[in-house]
Amino acid sequence: MNKQIIVITGGPGTGKTTLIEGLIKTGYHCMPEISREIINEARNRGIEQLFLEKPLLFSELLLEGRKKQFQNASQHENNVVFLDRGIPDILAYMHYIGDSYPAFFDEACKENTYSKVFILPPWKAIYMSDEHRYENFEQAKLIYSHLKETYENYGYELIEVPMDTVENRIQFILDVL
C-alpha cells in the first residue's frame, strides 16, 4: 500500500478536531492542528491574537509547522496519516483576510501534496466560539468557501464529509479510502 497523507479541513467549528480525535481512537495516526499552539506561544509573549495583529508572521510560523508535519507524515511508519489542516489552509485564510504573501507559500503548496482532502462543511448546529476561535458563523462560511477555492486551485478534488455523527463521519472517510 502506498503512503497516504490525508488532510481533514473545513472552516472553524465544523467538527475537525472531534473527527481527528475519533480517528485516533480508531487506531489511525493523526497530526493535530498546530495553530492553537502558535496562538498560545504568542499569548505567552503578550500578543493576544497573533493572526489578527501580525498575520504574515503567524502564517510563516504555521507554514513551517505544517511543512514539518508533512515531512513527519511522509516518514511515519503507518501507511495512512491524517492531518488536521494542510498547507493550502494557510493561503485560504490569507485570502480570507485579503492579505498577500510571498511566493514561497505557493511553492510549499506545490511541493507538499496530499493524497486526499476531506472537507467539512459549515454546520450551524455544532458551531461554537471559544478563546481561540474569534469568527462568527457567517465568517466561518466565508472561510469554507476560501478553503474550497484554494484547494481546488491546487488541483485537489475535495471530498465533502456529510453532517452526521462522528462515527458515521469516520466510516464515510474510511469507506472512501
Residue 139 DSSP label: H
Percent of the chain with pLDDT over 90: 68
Between 99-103, 142-146, 166-170, the lowest mean confidence (pLDDT) is in 99-103
Rounded to whole angstroms, how far apart are CA atoms 12 and 67? 21
Confidence of residue 132 (pLDDT cuts 50, 70, 90): low
Rounded to whole angstroms, how far apart are CA atoms 100 and 136? 23
pLDDT in the model for residue 3:
92
Chain CA centroid to CA 162, Å: 17
Q: Does CATH place domain 4-176 in 3.40.50.300? A: yes
CB 106 within 8 A of CB 59: no
pLDDT in the model for residue 52:
73
The domain locations on the chain are 4-176
Q: Write the pLDDT tens digit of every residue in 39-80.
A: 888 888 888 777 777 888 889 999 999 999 999 999 999 999
Confidence of residue 135 (pLDDT cuts 50, 70, 90): confident
pLDDT in the model for residue 37:
84
